[in-house]
Chains A and B, each alone.
Chain A
Amino acid sequence: MTSTKGSPELTILMVENEEDTACLLEFVLQKNGYRVIHSNNGNHAKNLISAMNPPDAVLLDMTLPDTTGLDLLDYLRTQHHWQTTPVALLTTNAESLDSGRAARLGVRDYILKPVSPTRLAMRVNRLLAESQRKQTRVA
């Protein structure tokens, strides 16, 4: 397990339909000090996105029962305050991704499943650190 602990107030929206995987990811992220909001399908995630303030990062599964991760990301980017929210995609096969579209939609990272808990924590820490650096520069 990485020793880098996330800041306690940092929130991650995780959209993952597999209950077991979601439970596992949630545990690893919470263990690293993040608050996790979990959504298990596209519609629920869309409702959350319209209702809540943007989290510090979004982890988005590519394959959801009612939509695809990229379609959901498309929707997410149309929301006013969500345009710069850092997003990482969870995928089993990075090669099958429409990487051009993902890049246009501002995907910052890909996390390959099966996940290594250590690497997951490291990647999320890095994603958030990069995002915070950018915000500081803009400010």
Chain B
Amino acid sequence: MLALNHSDLTLRVGSIAVLCIYSAVVLLLAGILLLRFIRLAKERRRRNVTEIWRPLLAQCVVEVPETLPALKSRDHLVFLYLWNHCYESVRGDARTLLNELARRTKTDQFATELLRSGRLRRQLLAIVTLGHLQERSVWNELEGTLQADNAFLSLVAAKALLNIDAQAAVPLLIPVISRRKDWSPLKVVAMFEAVGADLAAETIAKAACQAAPEIGARLIRHLAATQSQHGLPPLRALLRESSPSDDVLAACLFLFGECSDPRDMATVRAHISHPTWYVRLQAASALGKMGVEEDEALLIGLLDDEHWWVRYRAAEALSNLPWMTADKMTRLCGALSTIEAHEHMLPFMAQSNIRKADSLPTVPPERDIL
């Protein structure tokens, strides 16, 4: 009797366990099906919105139609992606028309709500949109986002501020650029693309002057990418009025060489005998790009420098001088008094002879930072 009861209980427990497992599997399957259904429904909705709005957006770059289809709030996110893509694919008057479309579909309000949603992807989309729309009402929120821990979010906010009002954004951005180690200098330069190279160069140079040496030096090196000379005056003032670190000094000399403004010649020459080898190196490279005939002697002097890289760059700089022909280099090489100097000149002399033999136009050898 007891054995029978025991087996009955085991059977009952077993049945309950099987039922639980079965229910769990059914629930799991139902959950998977539900998720799949939601995903497919979202996908279908996205396709529908795209099918309606893609041709309309294309039309809006030419003219905004008088009547627009209703845009449900659940479809607005997809519309926002399409609108931003379209906005970034066009320029000129087409952007004004797209802004008109955005206002008529209340996209500015929707983007402002997204900005406050607290979800990163949505915030990024909102910031980009509001920047394109030049929405002044969110200025303070965007300014606050500049301090966000996420570097990407803060950079996008900086770009949006520049789009909204570049003149007002610059004073805010200078201290932030000089402080944020996590902002790539290349991204900083690219951020200013829309507002013009001159403003970019000036702002980045001012930020570099305020920054810690390691950030300042990196920013200055990337200033050359702006191809503007507006970054030079703040740096000249920095060198004149203070004693910057060797890193910053070397970066300035690199930039002076890239910009080749004759006003910086004296500064470059003054650093040819600097105690730090990489400052001498940058001075030598800069002289190769902007030097005049009297600088040849300075570069020849550097061929006997104690540091290998300085000797190498001095030889390269000599070969880069516009009046340095293959014959002149051969004569110069013959007149050198030390073996080291002679050895450094040989590869550049060979290159020069090859160019002469092939009668190819003179192409300066590849340059890099060192």
Using CB atoms and an 8 Å cutoff, list the residues of chain A in contact with chain B.
Answer: 1, 18-21, 23-24, 26-28, 31, 113-119
Contact = CB atoms under 8 A, between A and B. Distances in A.
A20 B62 contact: no
B88 interface: yes
B86 A24 contact: yes
Main secondary structure of the interface of B (DSSP, over half): helix
Nearest to A21: B89
B363 to A, nearest CB: 13
Interface of B: 54-55, 57-59, 61-63, 82, 85-86, 88-94
Contacts of A26: 58
Contacts of B82: 20
A98 to B, nearest CB: 16
Nearest to A24: B58
A24 B98 CA distance: 12
A23 B55 contact: yes
Given A20-B89, A115-B90, 9 more contacts: A19-B54, A20-B57, A23-B55, A27-B61, A31-B62, A113-B89, A116-B93, A117-B90, A117-B93
Contacts of A114: 88-91
A24 B61 contact: yes
B58 A27 contact: yes
B94 A117 contact: yes
Given A19-B54, A20-B54, A20-B85, A27 B62 contact: yes
In this complex, which of B59, B86, B89 has the most chain A Cβ atoms within 10 angstroms of its Cβ? Answer: B89
A27 B58 CA distance: 6
Nearest to B59: A27
28 contacts: A18-B89, A19-B54, A20-B54, A20-B82, A20-B85, A20-B89, A23-B55, A23-B57, A23-B58, A24-B58, A24-B89, A24-B90, A26-B58, A27-B58, A27-B59, A27-B61, A27-B62, A28-B58, A28-B61, A31-B62, A113-B89, A114-B88, A115-B89, A115-B90, A115-B91, A116-B91, A116-B92, A117-B92
Contacts of B63: 1
Contacts of A31: 62
Dominant SS among interface residues on chain A: helix
Contacts of A118: 92-93
B36 to A, nearest CB: 25
Nearest to A112: B91
A28 B59 CA distance: 8
Contacts of A113: 89
Contacts of B89: 18, 20-21, 24, 113-115
Contacts of A23: 54-55, 57-58
Contact of B62 (A1, A18, A19, A21): A1
B57 A24 contact: yes
B22 to A, nearest CB: 46
B90 A20 contact: no
B61 A20 contact: no
Nearest to A113: B89
Contacts of B55: 23, 27
A31 B114 CA distance: 35
A19 B93 CA distance: 22
Contacts of B54: 19-20, 23
Contacts of A27: 55, 58-59, 61-62
A69 B62 CA distance: 27
A119 to B, nearest CB: 7
B86 A119 contact: no
